[in-house]
Amino acid sequence: MAGTTLFVEVLTPDKTHFSGFVKAVYFPGENGYLGVLPGHAPLLTRLGVGTITCIEEDGDVVHMFCSGGFAEVMGRDVSILASVAEREGDIDEERAEKAKQRAEKRLFSGSAEVDYARAMSALQRAMERLHIAHPQ
């Protein structure tokens, strides 16, 4: 029988951003968001850009930004090995706002010199960070 919790770790090469038991975890896979509850089938996926949400045992909710990497679900263990991650309190809003403005300036420049895909990705990261720091 499946247990009632999962053990989730969110790691980047330099830091453990989250480690603990949760009732559920949501994260962006490469083809959209995935929700994992206890008893989930084994899974290995690339991570997209977005928000990791952990519902802790006491009902507290922890949000983290992530961009790139992999996630693995194996039994009750969920390992999220992100290329980049920040907990909501670690997000520098001013930096994200500046990154958003830079990306928008590039996207609206009409210049042939601009790498539009790169600017779109930068805008997506900045907007996701701002959304986590200031959810509506």
Contacting residues toward ligand ATP, per CB under 6 A: 67, 84, 86, 90-92, 95-96, 99, 122, 125, 129
Least distance from C-beta 119 to ligand ATP, angstroms? 11
Q: Supply 78's token pair.
A: 């969920």
Nearer to ligand ATP, 24 or 122 (CB): 122
Nearer to ligand ATP, 22 or 133 (CB): 133
- Residues 86 and 76: their CA atoms lie apart, in Å, by 23
Least distance from C-beta 51 to ligand ATP, angstroms? 14
Least distance from C-beta 73 to ligand ATP, angstroms? 24
Chain-centroid distance of CA 6 in Å reads: 18
Q: Which residue is nearest to ligand ATP (CB)?
A: 92
Phi, psi of 5 (to 5 degrees): -135, 165
Nearest to 88 by CA among 78, 98, 96, 80: 96
Least distance from C-beta 9 to ligand ATP, angstroms? 17
Nearer to ligand ATP, 9 or 38 (CB): 9
- Residues 132 and 136: their CA atoms lie apart, in Å, by 9
Nearer to ligand ATP, 15 or 39 (CB): 15
To the nearest 10 degrees (0 to 180), the angle between helices 93-107 and 116-133 is: 150
